Amino acid sequence: MKNNKPFYKIWWFWLIVVVLIVIIFGMIGGGGSSSDDDTSNKASGHTTTQTEKGAKSSSNKDTLDINYDNHKILDQKSYDVSFNDNSWQPANIKVSKVSIFKLNPYTSDDDSNTKAEGYIIIHMSVAANRDITTYPDQGTLVTSDGQQVDAVLDTVKGYKENWAGEISKGVTKQGDILFPIEKLSKISDMKTLRLKFDAYYDTDDYEDENANHSYDITLNLN
């Protein structure tokens, strides 16, 4: 009579069990592994921007900074000018640029509570052929739409104010002349600008009629 052993006492049964265990653990340890998984994706970082924080941009492209207050620009236009006046021999006056801004109305003079809707900036240089004194940055402007306004010594970001005065022979000073404009419906309304200011030089000759000169300049805006 043939003696049959229980299956768990047969040596090859346990060999099969061991092989299966090795295969299962191998699959678990390497599961999901592929050449794609071994490739690392690159990442970069940066300081969180104001926009990402939800803050407004600090750019002043759409504002004019007057006396450290930003005023919204509704419209603007710049004119390249080639004006040269050497009619008074002691000095040579040049105007190279005019910029006009239409702004949200703002208080341009706290004392009088005057409002302004616009701003005109004239860039000028003065070359002295002898010692002179002149203050074009304190001159008067007459606009083609009938407004007359005195220049102010505001602080406007990007522009140079309070630059004139005494100018020695051989020296050229340049800067900007600043005018808040009370009424400005459209920039195109400004066809011409008439600028007036005085200049003089010191002399002991009381009969020297050339010692004082009044500039009266008209700029055509095309």
The domain segmentation of the chain, as residue ranges, is 71-220
**pLDDT digits 0-9 by tens, 169-179:** 999 999 999 99
Helices (H), the chain: 11-30
pLDDT at residue 32 greater than cutoff 60: no
- Say how far apart CA 94 and CA 97 lie, in whole Å: 10
Tell me which of 3.40.50.720, 1.20.120.610, 2.60.40.4170, 3.40.50.1970 is the CATH number of domain 71-220. 2.60.40.4170
The structure tokens 């941009």 sit at 57
Q: Which two tokens mark 157? A: 């970001």
The pLDDT value recorded for residue 22 is 77
> Is residue 197 within 8 Å of residue 138, measured between CB atoms?
yes
**pLDDT digits 0-9 by tens, 77-95:** 999 999 999 999 999 999 9
User: 180: exposed, middle or buried (C-beta count within 10 Å: 0-12, 13-18, 19+)?
Assistant: buried
Beta strands of 23-68 (E only): which ranges? 63-66
- Say how far apart CA 151 and CA 79 lie, in whole Å: 19
- Say how far apart CA 178 and CA 161 lie, in whole Å: 8
The structure tokens 């236009």 sit at 77
- Say how far apart CA 191 and CA 23 lie, in whole Å: 92
The pLDDT value recorded for residue 41 is 61
pLDDT at residue 155 greater than cutoff 60: yes
pLDDT bin (cut points 50, 70, 90) of residue 200 is: very high
pTM: 0.72
